[in-house]
Amino acid sequence: MVEQAVVEHTTAGVTAGRQGGVERSDAEPVNKKEKRSLYQKRIKIYPKLAKGAFRRWKWVIMAVTLGIYYLTPWIRWDRGPNAPDQAVLIDFPARRFYFFFIEIWPQEVYYITGLLILAAIGLFLITSLAGRVWCGYTCPQTVWTDLFIAVEHAIQGDRAARIRLDKAPWGVEKVLRKVGTQVAWVVIAVCTGGAWVFYFADAPTLAADLLAFQAAPVAYITIGVLTFTTYLLGGFAREQVCTYMCPWPRIQGGLLDEESLVITYNEDRGEPRGARKKGDHPSALGDCVACNQCVAVCPMGIDIRDGQQLECITCGLCIDACNSVMDKVGLPRNLIEYSTLANVERVRAGEKPRLRLIRPRTIVYSGLIAVVGAIMLFTLVTRADLDLNILRDRNPLFVALSDGSIRNGYTVKIINKQHQERVFGLELVGLPGAVLTVVGAGADPGALAVGPDSLASFRVFATAPRDSVTDGAVDVTFRIVDQAGGAASNDTVFRGPED
């Protein structure tokens, strides 16, 4: 049995100790509200590497999210001979957004709006259920900061080693470790910016052009900007982004309620805090052994024992740290756990805790997601692969010809969303005796060719006898029909002199 007395040692300014096999940390919550000042220089946080279920989940989610981001532009998707084969592509020159089997045209930007609405409501739902799990696991700032910290840990060592390295005088080892860390960060940042531009052009082609310095200047500028921001935010700003730059910590307060899962310190069980050895649990003390390991592993630099805080990103690393300590001293796990404020009150009242996932706000959020998703799915499934737009000339409104007939000019735009050429016949409905003429050599209203996956514009004149136009205007309909039976129409008016 290890003696209860704490044996402390100081190494390069780092104070540590062990008691009953439990390592004690001198980590302080530098982001504690009482200690934080808007005009104070940032105090660097040295998060310790946690081990446990939540840390493993963060590794898995980091690998999945980074894999999706870096590899998606290289996935191929066969759309036929006349379309790009990149699965996900934002093609600005062609004004298209490709997502596997879905192709979005500029006229269908409402799909993007729908996706943003779904994302927002989904985030509201997740937050109302499980707090800031988005921030703790999948937010890009969290993912890249975790990656940068992992690199820093691999090159410079764990918390104590990094603190010693920063306090040590400059020498060969310090230079190599510091420079190596910065180089690795820059490589990650360049890869981040490089992966982003691949979403806007054919990835293999653009990669070859970038390496040959033949890519467009905007590609290099974009990579440079994203490299700088990734390097700055992931390497240096870190928790400052979440605390000062991101609005989400402040918004989430209106989305949480007493039944939302949050990281909770069981104060009734843990207090009063005090040191003890394994197997010795004085009745005057709570289960918290005051080891400070929950503070040491926190990437936000807070102490969860201070209660709910804006800075907490609900990553669960403090739970891993605390559970490992509880195992060592032979006490029950989950002194720090995912729980609800309502359950805290239930336990204090001697009631059994329960999880209420179905609540009015979660029902509303789920219903909105279902409605918006159903609308988007219906419009996507039923959307036509053919569209017709008519723009009528406004100057002049009409022209009176020498034979007394009236002529109106129109711009007819035909959108062919199929990946093959189509030939259309154009007709005007609602104006007896009208004749259509298409401007251009060899243009025939009965055989207008439109290329695959493209838009074609035609200049069209409609001429009608004077007695067909009454009251200055006639409602008419332009209609197109292709040889395969596809059809589309668009209503407009035919103008003439008022009697």
Give me the residue spans of the domains in the chain. Answer: 1-383, 386-495
Identify the band that residue 442 occupies on the pLDDT scale cut at 50, 70 and 90: low
Confidence of residue 18 (pLDDT cuts 50, 70, 90): low
Crossing angle for the helix pair 203-211 and 217-232, to the nearest 10 degrees: 90
Which DSSP string do the residues of 13-78 spell out, in sequence order?
A: TEEEEEETTEEEE----TT-TTT--TTSPPPPP-PPPP-SHHHHHHHHHHHHHHHHHHHGGG-B--
Confidence at residue 57, expressed as pLDDT on a 0 to 100 scale: 96
What pLDDT, on the 0 to 100 scale, is given for residue 10?
35
Q: Has residue 336 got a pLDDT over 90?
A: yes
Tokens of 303: 């102490």
Predicted confidence (pLDDT) per residue in 378-406, tens digit: 988 888 888 899 999 988 889 999 888 99
Which pLDDT score is estimated for 8? 33
Q: What is the mean pLDDT of the chain?
A: 87
pLDDT at 274: 83
> Of 321-325, 346-350, 495-499, which has the strongest mean pLDDT?
321-325
Identify whether the C-beta of residue 251 lies closer than 8 Å to the C-beta of residue 245. Answer: no
Which strand ranges, in their side-by-side order, compose the sheet holding 448-450?
448-450, 422-429, 473-482, 487-495
* 8 A C-beta contact, residue 163 and residue 152: no
pLDDT tops 90 at residue 368: yes
Higher pLDDT, 83 or 377: 377
Give the pLDDT confidence score for residue 4 in this predicted structure: 32
* Pairwise CA distance, residues 125 & 256, whole Å: 10
Q: Give the pLDDT band (50/70/90) at residue 36.
A: low
pLDDT interval class at 38 (50, 70, 90): low
C-alpha to C-alpha distance for 74 and 86, rounded to whole angstroms: 7
Per-residue pLDDT tens digits for 452-492: 888 889 999 999 988 888 778 889 999 999 877 788 899 99
pLDDT category at 20 given cuts 50, 70, 90 is: low
Quote the percentage of the chain above a pLDDT of 90.
53
**Is residue 5 scored above 50 in pLDDT?**
no
Position 293 scores a pLDDT of 94
Q: How confident is the model over 104-153, as pLDDT tens digits? A: 888 888 888 999 999 999 999 999 999 889 999 999 999 999 999 999 99
Nearest-angstrom CA–CA distance, 450 and 420: 9
pLDDT digits (tens, 9 = 90+) for 59-112: 999 999 999 999 999 999 988 777 889 999 999 888 889 999 888 888 888 888
d(CA 461, CA 85): 39
Q: Are 289 and 22 in contact (CB under 8 A)?
A: yes
- The pLDDT value given to residue 441: 52
Q: Which tokens is 399 given? A: 């022209």
Q: Which of 12-21, 248-257, 332-341, 430-439 has the highest mean pLDDT?
A: 332-341
Query: How many other CB atoms are found less than 10 A from the CB of residue 320?
Result: 23
pLDDT digits (tens, 9 = 90+) for 171-192: 999 999 999 999 999 999 999 9
Supply the pLDDT for residue 61: 96
Write down the pLDDT at residue 321. 95
Buried b (16+ CB within 10 A) or exposed e, 210-234: beeeebeeebeebbeebbeebbebb
pLDDT, residue 257, reads 87
**Residue 438 near residue 427, CB atoms below 8 Å:** no
* pLDDT at 48 exceeding the cut of 70: yes
Three-state secondary-structure class, residue 88: strand
**Cα 461 to Cα 399: distance, rounded to the nearest angstrom:** 10
- Asked whether 413 and 455 are in contact (CB, 8 A), the reply is yes
Question: What's the pLDDT band for 279 if we cut at 50, 70, 90?
Answer: low
Q: How many residues does the chain have?
A: 499
Task: Sort 365 into a burial class: Cβ within 10 Å, 0-12 / 13-18 / 19+.
Answer: buried
pLDDT, tens digit, 9 for 90 and up, residues 188-217: 999 999 999 999 999 999 999 999 999 999
Q: 């035609």: which residue's tokens?
A: 458
Class of domain 386-495 (CATH, top level) = mainly beta
First to last CA, the chain: 111
pLDDT at 471: 79
- Is the separation of the CB atoms in 27 and 292 below 8 Å? yes
